Amino acid sequence: MLSPPGGMQRCFQAILLLALIVFLLAGFLHRDIRLFEPLLGGQAEGPPIINVMFLKTHKTASSTVLNILFRFAEMHNLSVALPAGSRFHLGYPWLFLARYVEGLESPGPQRHFNIMCNHLRFNLPEVQKVMPDDTFYFSILRNPVFQLESAFAYYRKDVPAFRAAGSLDAFLAAPRTYYHRGAGLRNAPARNGMWFDLGFDNDAPDDEAYVRARLADVERRFQLVLIAEHLDESLVLLRHLLRWRLDDVVAFPLNSRSPRSVAGLSPEARARARRWCALDWRLYEHFNRTLWARVRAELGPRRLRSELARLRARRRELAARCLQDGEAKNGSQITDRRLRPYQSGVADIMGYNLRRGLDNQTRQMCLRMVTPELQYMAHLYARQFPGKPPKNIPFLEE
């Protein structure tokens, strides 16, 4: 029996309408789910990696990365390998020993920690006494020319070679006039500082076989090496590998200098710095290449652009929500002394004022993002070891 023509037409119209609804719904879910990603966290598939060792190199934007790790530890109630007693670093500039960590000072049953990220000179066998076997290792490097310039500004009064030279141009014009191996570890920041942080001899000759062997050592141990000049791209890749949420890696620059305290270097001075820090230069060139190869392999250009846009948009959003005037301030302009960054050498270290009138939840989130590393370390130490005397920060009491 044939169906009435009107019934068939209504059935066909219903099918078309249903198909249109499904098409529109699929498009909405595909295109606009990103509107909810800050709420959902933008987390990659799989459980997040929670055992992480970050080799915090000097003057490489590493304080910004340390803040990311401290925040993650606090938000997820993870344990942090913190300096024992009143110390603020893990034995630097000496090679790291497990006993430098609070809770591991004396012989006995070893405990492991989730996060390790304070300054130390890398010593793998001792680090492995502190961190679990499945730990994710990563570090960060910076163009050695600018790393050395920053180190000079920051450690000018402390490093004998810098103190004797008076200016970076004078130092680079005749570095061996001021740099003497007899000064020992006190001169470490004055030559191949990142190579030194990795546990290697910063005065070793630039021998091809030796350098290749040490680069291979770093590649075997560290699953990722970030590059400070491409920090956003590095953080996108880090988030992907750790399977963390977007907000976990959004950060404001910390321990950075005001532009007025950054010295300009002539092309000749830059060339001298590259020659003087030849081991650091080889290290930087190698891992700058590997970073981009890794980005292409893991993400690809389209996904990288998308993830960069999301990271930067979220940082702008949080800066507008959290920060007075939405930007960093000179150290002298920080009104809350608890948020004042440590000032060293001739560097003018910048910090942040929080906006007034924030609700408590928002204020706590913002506070974690702007707390300088010494204050954050002292906070985590008091929280993790409530029975121990708190860490005192002398410059806050002046």
Determine contact, residues 169/269, Cβ cutoff 8 Å. yes
Examine the pLDDT at 41 and tell me if it is beyond 60.
Answer: no
Mean pLDDT calculated for residue range 263-292: 97
In a domain, 253, yes or no: yes
Distance CA 195, CA 95 (A): 13
As separate numbers, helices (DSSP H) first and strands (DSSP E) second, the chain gives: 17, 4
Q: Which residue has the tokens 């509107």?
A: 35
Distance CA 295, CA 141 (A): 16
Examine the pLDDT at 2 and tell me if it is beyond 60.
Answer: no
Confidence of residue 32 (pLDDT cuts 50, 70, 90): very low
Confidence of residue 6 (pLDDT cuts 50, 70, 90): low
The domain containing residue 87 runs over which residues?
Answer: 52-386
DSSP 8-state secondary structure symbol assigned to residue 259? G
Burial of 310 (0-12, 13-18, 19+ CB in 10 A): middle
Please state whether beta strands 136-141 and 115-116 pair in parallel, antiparallel, or not at all (unpaired): unpaired
Examine the pLDDT at 33 and tell me if it is beyond 60.
Answer: no
The predicted pLDDT at position 182 comes to 85
Share of the chain above pLDDT 70, in %: 87
The predicted pLDDT at position 373 comes to 96
Mean pLDDT calculated for residue range 150-174: 94
Confidence of residue 263 (pLDDT cuts 50, 70, 90): confident
Closest CA to 191 of 96, 89, 273, 257: 273
Examine the pLDDT at 344 and tell me if it is beyond 90.
Answer: no
The predicted pLDDT at position 58 comes to 97
Distance CA 296, CA 92 (A): 35
More confident residue, 61 or 15: 61
pLDDT digits (tens, 9 = 90+) for 199-228: 999 999 999 999 999 999 999 999 999 999
The predicted pLDDT at position 4 comes to 45
Half-sphere exposure of 317 (CA within 13 A, CB side): 11
Examine the pLDDT at 29 and tell me if it is beyond 50.
Answer: no
In a domain, 247, yes or no: yes
Closest CA to 269 of 177, 345, 171, 141: 171
Q: At what angle do helices 278-298 and 144-155 cross, to 10 degrees?
A: 120
Mean pLDDT calculated for residue range 120-131: 97
**Which helix H or strand E contains 21, and what residues bound it?**
helix 5-32
In a domain, 31, yes or no: no
In a domain, 213, yes or no: yes
Return the biggest CA–CA distance within the chain: 106
pLDDT digits (tens, 9 = 90+) for 182-198: 888 999 999 999 999 99
Most confident range (mean pLDDT) of 8-22, 69-83, 98-112 is 69-83
Q: What CATH code is carried by the domain that includes residue 124?
A: 3.40.50
List the single range of 25-39, 67-81, 190-204 with lowest mean pLDDT.
Answer: 25-39
In a domain, 371, yes or no: yes
In a domain, 62, yes or no: yes
The predicted pLDDT at position 259 comes to 86
In a domain, 372, yes or no: yes
- Count of C-beta atoms within a 10 Å radius of residue 180: 13
In a domain, 393, yes or no: no
Q: How many domains are contained in the chain?
A: 1
Confidence of residue 145 (pLDDT cuts 50, 70, 90): very high
**Which helix H or strand E contains 137, and what residues bound it?**
strand 136-141
Confidence of residue 18 (pLDDT cuts 50, 70, 90): low
Share of the chain above pLDDT 90, in %: 79
Examine the pLDDT at 88 and tell me if it is beyond 80.
Answer: yes
Distance CA 312, CA 305 (A): 11
Q: What is the pTM of this model?
A: 0.88
Mean pLDDT score across all residues of the chain: 90
The predicted pLDDT at position 111 comes to 81
Closest CA to 354 of 372, 374, 334: 334
